Amino acid sequence: MRVRGRAAVVAALTRPTVRSLPWRLLAGGWALGVVVAAVPALFSLDLPAAALADVVRAAALCGAVGTAFALDDPARHTTGAVPVPRPLRQTLRVAVVGLAGAVWWAAVLGAVRAGADAASWGVLPAGALTVEAAALSGLALALAGAAVRFSAVRLPGPAVAAALPALPVAAAVFLPYEHALFVPPGDPRWADAHTLWAGILAVTLAVWAACGPEPRRRVRGAPGRGGGVPKRGGGRTRRAIARNLG
């Protein structure tokens, strides 16, 4: 059998990856997001920029709930011992979801714009809200990635999707006033809040990336992976290894 390079693997893997994604669940979250974004247009609501920002945030949260299913892989264990590494497989999944997600986000902004008057749309900071949406989806990926890395679960999506809406609520309730994440456009805290959002995006993507590689050493005490014993063998073990493996 000829072994080709990574590019050839990626090319061959793209189609089955697209086929293997849980599109119904992803699309469910995204469709709900578009419906939420279309509410002002559907009901001819004349909302101010602050309310429009909250509509966009609600749509972003729906999208993040859909993204929580991106790493669901019912065949995880059947394909658990293949040479193509997990980071490559996950990256390809996330890239495909990311591309589709970008189209979805454009649809969300388009739906909001259709229902907003020119003045409100003009002061709505779409770029900063896009960073918020990306951070929420990044959070979903980080949680799903951690679930895959630290447990044997095949479908982390349902648990992550269930937990995700609670996190922005908790942030709104527990974060101090000066570090609030959900601030209206034009608020003096806007710049600081979006520095924080950018930080969340960077950290969540870093966590997802760090959870990708399969471990060479077990994590002490990690859920479902036990731990709590010394990593190196005693003299008896080392002698046995030397004897048997030469």
Partner 1 sequence: MTRPTVSAAGLTLSYRGTRAVDEVTLRLTEGVTGLLGPNGAGKTTLLRILATATVPDNGAFTVLGHDPSTVTGRQDARRVLGYLPQNPGFHPDFTAFEFVDYVAVLKELTDRRTRHAEARRVLDAVGLADVRGKRIRKLSGGMKQRVALAAALVGDPGFLVLDEPTVGLDPEQRMRFRELIAEAGEGRTVLLSTHQTEDVAMLCHRVVVMDQGRVRFDGTPAELTAVADGRVWRSAERQPGARAGWRTGTGEFRNVGDPPEGARLVEPTLEDGYLLALGGDPVAGVAA
Residues contributing to the site for partner 1 (CB under 8 A):
1-4, 8-9, 11-13, 16, 19-20, 73-85, 89, 154, 214-218, 224-233, 236-238, 240-241, 243-245
Question: At a CB cut-off of 8 Å and minimum separation 6, what does 221 contact?
Answer: 227, 228
DSSP state of 116: S
Using the minimum distance from each CB to partner 1, give the nearer residue, 127 or 224: 224
Q: In the complex, what is the shortest distance from the CB of residue 30 to partner 1, in angstroms, rounded to a whole number?
A: 19
Q: Which is nearer to partner 1, 7 or 166 (CB)?
A: 7
Provide the greatest CA pair distance for the chain.
79
CB of 152 to partner 1, least distance (A): 9
Residue count of the chain, please give it. 246
Cα–Cα dist 246/229, whole Å: 25
Nearer residue to partner 1 within complex by CB, 110 or 227 = 227
Nearer to partner 1, 75 or 118 (CB): 75
Q: How many CB atoms lie within 10 A of CB 75?
A: 9
Cβ count near 111 (within 10 Å): 23
Of 15 and 173, which CB lies nearer to partner 1 in the complex structure? 15
Nearest to 203 by CA among 111, 153, 115, 136: 136
- In the complex, least distance from residue 99 CB atom to partner 1, rounded to whole angstroms: 20
- Residues contacting residue 219 through CB under 8 Å, at least 6 positions apart: 150, 225, 227
Residue 104 beta carbon to partner 1: minimum distance, rounded to whole angstroms: 22
Q: Are 61 and 136 in contact (CB under 8 A)?
A: yes
Select 127 or 228, whichever has its Cβ closest to partner 1: 228
Token duo for residue 244: 């048997």
Site of tokens 């279309």: 38
CA distances from 136 to 90, 150, 167, 175 (A): 18, 21, 10, 16
